[in-house]
Amino acid sequence: MELDGGDFESKIYVKQNAGPLAERDLASEKIWGEHIAIGTATDPYQPAEKEFGATRAILEKMAEREGLSLSITTKSNQVVRDIDVIKRISERSSITIHMTVTTLRTRLARMLEPRAPRPDLRLAALRQLREAGINAGVNAMPVLPGLTDREEDLDALARAARDAGAQWIAASVLFLMPSSLKEFLPFIDAKFPKLAKRYREWYQHKGYAPEEYRKEISARFEQLRRKYGLNSRPERYSTSKQWRSPQLALDLNAPT
Protein backbone atom coordinates (compact mmCIF):
# COMPACT_ATOMS: atom_id res chain seq x y z
CA MET A 1 0.00 0.00 0.00
CA GLU A 2 1.68 3.18 -1.20
CA LEU A 3 0.67 6.05 1.07
CA ASP A 4 2.04 9.55 1.22
CA GLY A 5 3.47 10.49 4.62
CA GLY A 6 0.56 12.79 5.37
CA ASP A 7 -1.96 10.02 4.66
CA PHE A 8 -1.00 8.28 7.88
CA GLU A 9 -2.54 11.23 9.71
CA SER A 10 -5.95 10.93 8.08
CA LYS A 11 -6.46 7.45 6.60
CA ILE A 12 -6.85 4.47 8.91
CA TYR A 13 -7.32 1.02 7.37
CA VAL A 14 -8.67 -1.78 9.57
CA LYS A 15 -8.33 -5.43 8.61
CA GLN A 16 -11.80 -6.95 8.59
CA ASN A 17 -12.24 -10.46 10.05
CA ALA A 18 -8.71 -10.29 11.46
CA GLY A 19 -9.21 -13.30 13.72
CA PRO A 20 -10.41 -15.78 11.07
CA LEU A 21 -7.76 -14.55 8.62
CA ALA A 22 -5.04 -15.04 11.23
CA GLU A 23 -6.35 -18.53 11.96
CA ARG A 24 -6.14 -19.37 8.27
CA ASP A 25 -2.58 -18.06 7.96
CA LEU A 26 -1.42 -19.81 11.12
CA ALA A 27 -2.57 -23.09 9.63
CA SER A 28 -0.33 -22.61 6.59
CA GLU A 29 2.85 -24.64 6.26
CA LYS A 30 4.58 -21.50 4.94
CA ILE A 31 5.00 -20.04 8.43
CA TRP A 32 6.37 -23.16 10.11
CA GLY A 33 9.44 -22.13 12.06
CA GLU A 34 9.23 -18.47 10.97
CA HIS A 35 9.35 -15.52 13.36
CA ILE A 36 6.19 -13.39 13.35
CA ALA A 37 6.88 -9.69 13.99
CA ILE A 38 3.84 -7.55 14.80
CA GLY A 39 4.24 -3.78 14.61
CA THR A 40 7.17 -3.36 12.22
CA ALA A 41 5.17 -1.39 9.64
CA THR A 42 2.60 0.35 11.83
CA ASP A 43 1.69 0.30 15.50
CA PRO A 44 -0.72 -2.55 16.34
CA TYR A 45 -2.16 -0.48 19.22
CA GLN A 46 -3.36 2.63 17.45
CA PRO A 47 -6.37 4.42 19.00
CA ALA A 48 -8.62 2.59 16.52
CA GLU A 49 -7.71 -0.71 18.18
CA LYS A 50 -9.94 0.23 21.13
CA GLU A 51 -12.94 0.15 18.83
CA PHE A 52 -12.06 -2.61 16.38
CA GLY A 53 -9.94 -5.03 18.43
CA ALA A 54 -8.12 -6.42 15.38
CA THR A 55 -4.84 -6.96 17.22
CA ARG A 56 -6.50 -8.78 20.09
CA ALA A 57 -8.42 -10.99 17.67
CA ILE A 58 -5.13 -12.02 16.06
CA LEU A 59 -3.47 -12.67 19.42
CA GLU A 60 -6.40 -14.82 20.52
CA LYS A 61 -5.79 -17.11 17.55
CA MET A 62 -2.07 -17.21 18.29
CA ALA A 63 -2.84 -18.27 21.86
CA GLU A 64 -4.49 -21.39 20.46
CA ARG A 65 -1.22 -22.48 18.83
CA GLU A 66 2.04 -23.60 20.33
CA GLY A 67 5.65 -23.31 19.33
CA LEU A 68 5.29 -19.89 17.71
CA SER A 69 8.00 -17.22 17.78
CA LEU A 70 6.41 -13.77 18.15
CA SER A 71 7.31 -10.17 18.87
CA ILE A 72 5.15 -7.07 19.32
CA THR A 73 6.55 -3.56 18.83
CA THR A 74 4.46 -0.64 20.08
CA LYS A 75 4.63 2.81 21.62
CA SER A 76 1.26 2.46 23.33
CA ASN A 77 0.39 1.48 26.88
CA GLN A 78 -2.78 -0.04 25.41
CA VAL A 79 -0.84 -3.31 25.18
CA VAL A 80 -1.58 -3.97 28.88
CA ARG A 81 -5.20 -4.59 27.91
CA ASP A 82 -4.00 -7.83 26.33
CA ILE A 83 -1.76 -9.07 29.15
CA ASP A 84 -4.11 -11.98 29.72
CA VAL A 85 -3.86 -13.30 26.17
CA ILE A 86 -0.13 -12.51 25.93
CA LYS A 87 0.42 -14.62 29.05
CA ARG A 88 -1.49 -17.48 27.44
CA ILE A 89 0.70 -17.17 24.35
CA SER A 90 3.88 -17.17 26.47
CA GLU A 91 2.86 -20.45 28.10
CA ARG A 92 2.99 -22.24 24.74
CA SER A 93 5.21 -20.05 22.54
CA SER A 94 8.04 -17.52 22.62
CA ILE A 95 6.88 -13.87 22.71
CA THR A 96 8.67 -10.59 23.40
CA ILE A 97 7.25 -7.07 23.74
CA HIS A 98 9.30 -4.12 22.45
CA MET A 99 8.16 -0.80 23.94
CA THR A 100 9.33 2.21 21.94
CA VAL A 101 10.49 5.13 24.09
CA THR A 102 12.76 7.75 22.52
CA THR A 103 12.83 10.41 25.25
CA LEU A 104 11.60 10.99 28.79
CA ARG A 105 10.95 14.67 28.12
CA THR A 106 7.18 14.86 27.93
CA ARG A 107 6.92 18.12 25.98
CA LEU A 108 9.42 16.95 23.39
CA ALA A 109 7.68 13.57 23.09
CA ARG A 110 4.37 15.36 22.55
CA MET A 111 5.87 17.30 19.64
CA LEU A 112 7.56 14.27 18.08
CA GLU A 113 4.79 11.74 18.74
CA PRO A 114 1.61 13.80 19.20
CA ARG A 115 -0.79 10.84 19.32
CA ALA A 116 1.27 8.43 21.39
CA PRO A 117 0.88 7.99 25.17
CA ARG A 118 3.35 9.82 27.40
CA PRO A 119 6.73 8.15 27.94
CA ASP A 120 5.99 7.51 31.62
CA LEU A 121 2.79 5.69 30.71
CA ARG A 122 4.68 3.46 28.31
CA LEU A 123 7.27 2.63 30.95
CA ALA A 124 4.50 1.89 33.44
CA ALA A 125 3.03 -0.51 30.88
CA LEU A 126 6.44 -2.13 30.49
CA ARG A 127 6.61 -2.61 34.25
CA GLN A 128 3.20 -4.30 34.23
CA LEU A 129 4.31 -6.64 31.47
CA ARG A 130 7.44 -7.61 33.35
CA GLU A 131 5.52 -8.12 36.60
CA ALA A 132 3.29 -10.50 34.66
CA GLY A 133 6.38 -12.49 33.68
CA ILE A 134 6.41 -11.39 30.05
CA ASN A 135 9.74 -10.81 28.27
CA ALA A 136 9.93 -7.10 27.43
CA GLY A 137 12.38 -4.30 26.76
CA VAL A 138 12.80 -0.81 25.31
CA ASN A 139 13.42 0.31 21.74
CA ALA A 140 15.03 3.77 21.77
CA MET A 141 14.25 4.15 18.09
CA PRO A 142 14.88 6.39 16.38
CA VAL A 143 17.57 8.48 18.04
CA LEU A 144 17.06 11.99 16.62
CA PRO A 145 20.28 13.98 16.11
CA GLY A 146 20.27 17.13 18.19
CA LEU A 147 16.93 16.30 19.79
CA THR A 148 17.00 13.05 21.74
CA ASP A 149 20.73 12.28 21.74
CA ARG A 150 22.00 14.30 24.71
CA GLU A 151 24.13 12.14 26.98
CA GLU A 152 22.17 13.00 30.12
CA ASP A 153 18.87 12.26 28.37
CA LEU A 154 20.01 8.88 27.09
CA ASP A 155 21.37 8.01 30.52
CA ALA A 156 18.04 8.90 32.11
CA LEU A 157 16.21 6.79 29.53
CA ALA A 158 18.41 3.74 30.10
CA ARG A 159 18.06 4.11 33.88
CA ALA A 160 14.27 4.41 33.61
CA ALA A 161 14.18 1.33 31.38
CA ARG A 162 16.17 -0.61 33.96
CA ASP A 163 13.92 0.59 36.77
CA ALA A 164 10.84 -0.52 34.83
CA GLY A 165 12.27 -4.02 34.56
CA ALA A 166 13.37 -3.89 30.92
CA GLN A 167 15.56 -6.79 29.87
CA TRP A 168 17.15 -4.87 27.00
CA ILE A 169 17.43 -1.49 25.37
CA ALA A 170 17.93 -1.37 21.61
CA ALA A 171 18.74 1.76 19.64
CA SER A 172 19.18 3.02 16.10
CA VAL A 173 19.67 6.46 14.59
CA LEU A 174 16.98 8.12 12.49
CA PHE A 175 16.63 6.77 8.95
CA LEU A 176 14.49 8.75 6.50
CA MET A 177 12.86 7.31 3.41
CA PRO A 178 12.04 9.91 0.72
CA SER A 179 8.34 9.94 1.70
CA SER A 180 9.25 10.55 5.34
CA LEU A 181 11.87 13.16 4.44
CA LYS A 182 9.21 15.20 2.67
CA GLU A 183 7.19 15.40 5.88
CA PHE A 184 10.00 15.59 8.41
CA LEU A 185 12.19 18.38 7.03
CA PRO A 186 9.39 20.98 7.05
CA PHE A 187 8.67 19.94 10.65
CA ILE A 188 12.31 20.55 11.58
CA ASP A 189 12.23 23.89 9.75
CA ALA A 190 9.20 25.00 11.72
CA LYS A 191 9.95 23.62 15.18
CA PHE A 192 13.74 23.36 15.35
CA PRO A 193 15.16 25.81 12.77
CA LYS A 194 18.65 25.71 14.33
CA LEU A 195 18.88 22.06 13.31
CA ALA A 196 17.53 22.51 9.80
CA LYS A 197 20.91 22.93 8.11
CA ARG A 198 22.36 19.80 9.75
CA TYR A 199 19.35 17.66 8.82
CA ARG A 200 19.45 18.80 5.22
CA GLU A 201 23.18 18.16 4.93
CA TRP A 202 22.80 14.70 6.46
CA TYR A 203 19.53 13.51 4.98
CA GLN A 204 18.73 15.44 1.81
CA HIS A 205 20.59 13.05 -0.48
CA LYS A 206 20.73 9.84 1.55
CA GLY A 207 18.59 8.29 4.21
CA TYR A 208 21.26 7.71 6.86
CA ALA A 209 23.14 9.96 9.27
CA PRO A 210 26.93 9.92 8.83
CA GLU A 211 28.59 6.66 9.82
CA GLU A 212 30.80 8.40 12.40
CA TYR A 213 27.71 9.69 14.23
CA ARG A 214 26.00 6.30 14.11
CA LYS A 215 29.08 4.64 15.59
CA GLU A 216 29.18 7.26 18.34
CA ILE A 217 25.55 6.56 19.31
CA SER A 218 26.14 2.81 19.18
CA ALA A 219 29.13 3.12 21.52
CA ARG A 220 27.18 5.35 23.89
CA PHE A 221 24.39 2.80 24.22
CA GLU A 222 26.86 -0.01 24.76
CA GLN A 223 28.26 1.93 27.71
CA LEU A 224 24.75 2.49 29.07
CA ARG A 225 23.94 -1.22 28.80
CA ARG A 226 27.00 -2.11 30.81
CA LYS A 227 26.19 0.58 33.37
CA TYR A 228 22.60 -0.55 33.91
CA GLY A 229 22.89 -4.27 33.24
CA LEU A 230 20.78 -4.34 30.08
CA ASN A 231 21.08 -6.47 26.97
CA SER A 232 21.09 -5.09 23.42
CA ARG A 233 18.27 -7.36 22.27
CA PRO A 234 16.06 -10.14 23.60
CA GLU A 235 17.88 -13.27 24.58
CA ARG A 236 17.09 -16.42 22.69
CA TYR A 237 15.29 -18.07 25.55
CA SER A 238 15.76 -21.82 25.49
CA THR A 239 12.42 -23.56 25.48
CA SER A 240 10.91 -26.96 24.96
CA LYS A 241 8.02 -25.31 23.12
CA GLN A 242 8.94 -26.60 19.69
CA TRP A 243 7.00 -25.76 16.58
CA ARG A 244 4.09 -28.11 16.12
CA SER A 245 2.58 -28.83 12.73
CA PRO A 246 -1.00 -27.59 12.46
CA GLN A 247 -1.85 -30.89 10.77
CA LEU A 248 -2.67 -34.03 12.70
CA ALA A 249 0.15 -36.57 12.96
CA LEU A 250 -0.42 -39.89 11.24
CA ASP A 251 -0.50 -42.99 13.39
CA LEU A 252 1.38 -45.42 11.19
CA ASN A 253 0.78 -48.25 13.66
CA ALA A 254 -2.99 -47.90 13.63
CA PRO A 255 -4.85 -50.94 12.35
CA THR A 256 -6.15 -50.75 8.79
**Going residue by residue through the chain (256 aa), what tens digit of pLDDT does each one get?**
455 555 655 677 787 889 999 999 998 877 878 899 999 888 999 999 999 999 999 999 999 999 999 999 999 999 999 999 999 999 999 999 999 999 999 999 999 999 899 999 999 999 999 999 999 999 999 999 999 999 999 999 999 999 999 999 999 999 999 888 999 999 999 999 999 999 999 999 889 999 999 999 999 999 999 999 999 999 864 444 544 544 434 343 444 3
Query: Count of alpha carbons within 13 Å of 63, Cβ hemisphere only?
Result: 15
DSSP label at 103?
-
* Residue 145, pLDDT score: 98
Q: Are 224 and 158 in contact, with CB atoms under 8 Å apart?
A: yes
DSSP for 5-72, please give it: GGGGGT-----TTHHHHHHHHHTSGGGTT-EEEESSSS-TT-TTHHHH-HHHHHHHHHHT--S-EEEE
* Residue 241, pLDDT score: 52
Among 143, 176, 146, smallest CA distance to 158 is for 143
Domain extent listing, the chain:
19-173
Tell me the sheet residues that pair with 96. 71, 135
CATH, domain range 19-173: 3.80.30.30
C-alpha angle 169-170-173 in degrees, rounded to nearest 5: 135
Q: Residue 187 CB: number of other CB atoms within 10 A?
A: 12
